[in-house]
Amino acid sequence: MRDFSQDHRWLSINTATVRRSRGVELPLPRIIEACARRGIRAISPWRDQVAAAGLGPISRLVRTHGLELSGYCRGGMFPAVDAAGLAAARDDNRRALDEACELGAACLVLVVGGLPGALAGRAAHKDIALARSQVRDGIGQLLEEARRANMPLAIEPLHPMYAADRACVNTLEQALDLCDELDPSGAAAARAALGVAVDVYHVWWDPKLRQQIERAGRSRLHAFHVCDWLTPTTDLLNDRGMMGDGVIDIARIRSWVEAQGWAGYSEVEIFSTGNWWRRDHEEVLDTCIARHRSAV
Amino acid sequence: MRDFSQDHRWLSINTATVRRSRGVELPLPRIIEACARRGIRAISPWRDQVAAAGLGPISRLVRTHGLELSGYCRGGMFPAVDAAGLAAARDDNRRALDEACELGAACLVLVVGGLPGALAGRAAHKDIALARSQVRDGIGQLLEEARRANMPLAIEPLHPMYAADRACVNTLEQALDLCDELDPSGAAAARAALGVAVDVYHVWWDPKLRQQIERAGRSRLHAFHVCDWLTPTTDLLNDRGMMGDGVIDIARIRSWVEAQGWAGYSEVEIFSTGNWWRRDHEEVLDTCIARHRSAV
């Protein structure tokens, strides 16, 4: 297991972590510059942040600073109520794929979606099996184009509390079942076309976590995300903790991932309306560096 | 599958559902009387409510009204930081078992506990595997006494969002693995000494739900709880929905349970600080009856 205590060369910042500074939206170029100043070598930006600044300028800025992208957030949201909705999702995912390529991302992260309309509080139906079959079909279609573009896709199983509105793929086992079905040759590849993003926040509770990380192996491990689970957690979406402030044994999970040969970035992704987004982003980034050394 | 649309003979009220009326704590005797007046044939009371009114008086009141108990809430909370804590949990579970017997409950429901101290926001450690092994040992010890008392134990897997502070058994598969380990002969019994409580709120998201219900079979199905998952959910504990107000396909899950031979009560368990606990309990009970007919 790598020693993270001496430096932060394997730290990546998911840019949602500092999307607000003192409660105010922070443009992506300023996030990039603040990361670069600290010797942070990788980021994982969100599509809306890239769109606001422009794909071309962000692409140039990333190259200027020699930054890597540990991933690109995000494709997915496949389920829909009708053919037009499914087609719109397909088109949007193609654009996400193009952007990931343009930015040279290590993978396109997929948050697959849940029941159509649920995110707006008006689920169109209650058939989660249907949503899951649309997810399978959507990933299958996108995978063909991702192969041509040589861009790995990373299914991110989300915590079961997001099953209705954000992602109906909720365990690593379920995600790997999809990988094996849609990309059977990937298990034997050095780097599978279809793999997973392991975010400790979403999977730490899973009694089969170690077993399924071993099943994933190096070939299907495309991303490793960290933050912490707070007790109490006061909001289902935006109350994630800084590493070390919660109950997740992050180092243990990292040891399992690294035992499979994972040698990539540890990406910090924190959504925190009540705490970290209220602070100055410079403080948040400094804290990420410190906690990367002490609690990851 | 039974037809629930014509009556409410298979409705049970978990008394937490009306523990407050217009925001004020409602004593268990008044809950019992309000249920009995409506021809509700079963309840599932909580230990604190029984203790407040007295075990003897409640036992007599239950018999006077000819009420059944679809379960007794609850034993569990096994993990602790030291031997004294483990012994205290063991003693407390023995008392819960005695009370369940005195009240003639169908089963003692087990909410197994999580990381010691986490419920108070100060987890003593992050070793969920240790907590799980203490749960296994605790259930194993209690099971010996439960067998002698002829009181079935029902492990209730809680939603993974409660893994840290309330229960580190989080899927039906995990609960059934414990059943098979600790009570191997139960699978072939008419009614296993150790089984599960299936609460749709906790398990509806699980891609292996149907498979694991089939694995449980009639012998290990000891309780069936209903409420609904709201979108959005604004509180991790106390924002459960009335059946029909959320996204859970309750009837489908009930059909899977009944396909295994389940013919018991459908127990309504709703924690709702912001909505149902603010209303008058008479209205809540009438709504439970109506939704039992239309949405369960």
Query: Which chain A residues are closer than 8 Å to B118 by Cβ?
Result: 231, 247
Question: Tell me, what DSSP letter sits at residue B105?
Answer: B
Query: Who among B115, B174, B205 is closest to A207 (CB)?
Result: B174
Strands A24-25 and A20-21: antiparallel
Q: Which of A177, A254, A188, A243 is nearest to A219 (CA)?
A: A188
Phi first, then psi: give them for residue A287, nearest 5 degrees. -65, -40
pLDDT digits (tens, 9 = 90+) for A25-45: 999 999 999 999 999 999 999
pLDDT digits (tens, 9 = 90+) for B67-80: 999 999 999 999 99
Whole-number percent of chain B with pLDDT over 90? 100
Residue B205, domain member (yes or no)? yes
Q: Which of B110, B81, B105, B106 is nearest to B93 (CA)?
A: B110
Query: Who among A121, A233, A247 is closest to B126 (CB)?
Result: A247
Q: Rounded to an integer, what distance in angstroms lies between the CA atom of residue B83 and that of residue B104?
A: 31
The continuous run of DSSP H or E covering B62 comes out as: helix B55-64
Domain region containing A266: 11-295
Q: Which residues pair with A221 in a beta bridge?
A: A196
- The number of folded domains in chain B is 1
Confidence of residue B243 (pLDDT cuts 50, 70, 90): very high
Residue A140, domain member (yes or no)? yes
Count the Cβ atoms, other than its own, within 10 Å of residue A274: 10
pLDDT of residue A1: 96
Residue B41, domain member (yes or no)? yes
CB B247 to CB A118 under 8 A?
A: yes
Question: Tell me, what DSSP letter sits at residue B153?
Answer: E
pLDDT of residue B10: 98
Residue A88, domain member (yes or no)? yes
Residue B2, domain member (yes or no)? no
Q: State ipTM.
A: 0.97
- CATH code of the domain containing A240: 3.20.20.150
Question: Tell me, what DSSP letter sits at residue A277?
Answer: G
Mean pLDDT of B207-230: 98
Residue B287, domain member (yes or no)? yes
Query: Which chain B residues are closer than 8 Å to A246 by Cβ?
Result: 164
pLDDT digits (tens, 9 = 90+) for A63-101: 999 999 999 999 999 999 999 999 999 999 999 999 999
pLDDT digits (tens, 9 = 90+) for A165-224: 999 999 999 999 999 999 999 999 999 999 999 999 999 999 999 999 999 999 999 999
Residue B6, domain member (yes or no)? no
Contact B58, B28 (CB under 8 A): yes
pLDDT digits (tens, 9 = 90+) for A110-121: 999 999 999 999
Interface residue A119 vs chain B (CB under 8 A): yes
Tell me if residue A290 falls in helix, strand or coil. helix
Smallest CA–CA distance, residue A34 to chain B, in Å, is 33
Interface residue A181 vs chain B (CB under 8 A): no
CB B236 to CB A233 under 8 A?
A: yes
Sequence-separated (6 or more) residues with CB below 8 Å from residue B111: B73, B74, B75, B76, B77, B156, B158, B166, B167
Interface of B with A in 141-170 (CB under 8 A): 159-161, 163-165, 168, 170
Query: Which chain B residues are closer than 8 Å to A247 by Cβ?
Result: 115, 118, 123, 126, 164
- Largest Cα–Cα separation, chain B: 53
Q: Which of B109, B123, B47, B46 is nearest to B79 (CA)?
A: B123
Give residue B216's identity as a one-letter amino acid code.
A
Residue B59, domain member (yes or no)? yes
pLDDT of residue A135: 98
pLDDT of residue A162: 98
Q: Which of A272, A262, A266 is nearest to A295 (CA)?
A: A266
Q: Rounded to an integer, what distance in angstroms lies between the CA atom of residue A282 and that of residue A107?
A: 27
Q: Which residues pair with B225 in a beta bridge?
A: B199, B267
pLDDT digits (tens, 9 = 90+) for B158-189: 999 999 999 999 999 999 999 999 999 999 99
* Residue for token pair 């699980």: B206
pLDDT digits (tens, 9 = 90+) for A112-155: 999 999 999 999 999 999 999 999 999 999 999 999 999 999 99
Cis peptide before B157 (omega within 30 of 0): no
CB A164 to CB B247 under 8 A?
A: yes
